[in-house]
């Protein structure tokens, strides 16, 4: 997928709009890194874990009859890991400190996820054309 520069720009915009955001990553649903802004961890490992979390989240929402996966937020002692569906082929994962406003994080991530999904779909469509 060649949309990485545009996706990276979207992640940089998120970092500006969301106080206490400490990292951001977009990966394919099978765990391949598309773009990232993470520094103190291995992006490939985070992408693989994100894909696994996406799979569990999707199975859980399906099992209880709540439809398709949209988002998963994990709260740890030192902060949040939030994963959002970004269309059918990508997932957005955000890392935030414990001081983050989760409502703002959700609002901005949902908007960014929609834009990232459009970028990914546009890129895939261009690749399908002869």
Residue-wise pLDDT tens digits, 1-48: 445 788 999 999 999 999 999 999 999 999 999 999 998 899 999 999
Q: Supply 19's token pair.
A: 């106080």
What is the spatial distance between Cα 81 and Cα 95, in angstroms, rounded to a whole number? Answer: 5
Q: Are strands 71-76 and 33-37 parallel, antiparallel or unpaired?
A: unpaired
**Threshold 0.85, pTM exceeds:** yes
End-to-end CA distance of the chain: 16
Using CB atoms within 10 Å of the CB of residue 46, give its burial: 0 to 12 exposed, 13 to 18 middle, 19+ buried.
Answer: buried
Q: What is the pLDDT of residues 54-109, one digit of tens each?
A: 999 999 999 999 999 999 999 999 999 999 999 988 999 999 999 999 999 999 99
């Amino acid at each position: 997928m060649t949309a990485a520069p545009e996706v990276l720009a979207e992640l940089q915009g998120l970092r500006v709009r969301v106080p206490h955001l400490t990292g951001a990553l977009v990966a394919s649903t099978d765990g391949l890194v598309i773009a990232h802004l993470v520094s103190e961890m291995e992006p490939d490992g985070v992408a693989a874990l994100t894909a696994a979390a996406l799979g569990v989240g999707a199975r859980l929402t399906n099992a209880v009859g709540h439809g398709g996966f949209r988002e998963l937020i994990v709260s740890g002692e030192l902060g949040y890991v939030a994963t959002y569906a970004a269309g059918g082929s990508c997932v957005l994962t955000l890392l935030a400190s414990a001081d983050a406003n989760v409502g703002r994080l959700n609002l901005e991530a949902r908007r960014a996820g929609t834009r990232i999904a459009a970028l990914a779909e546009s890129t895939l469509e261009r690749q399908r054309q002869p």
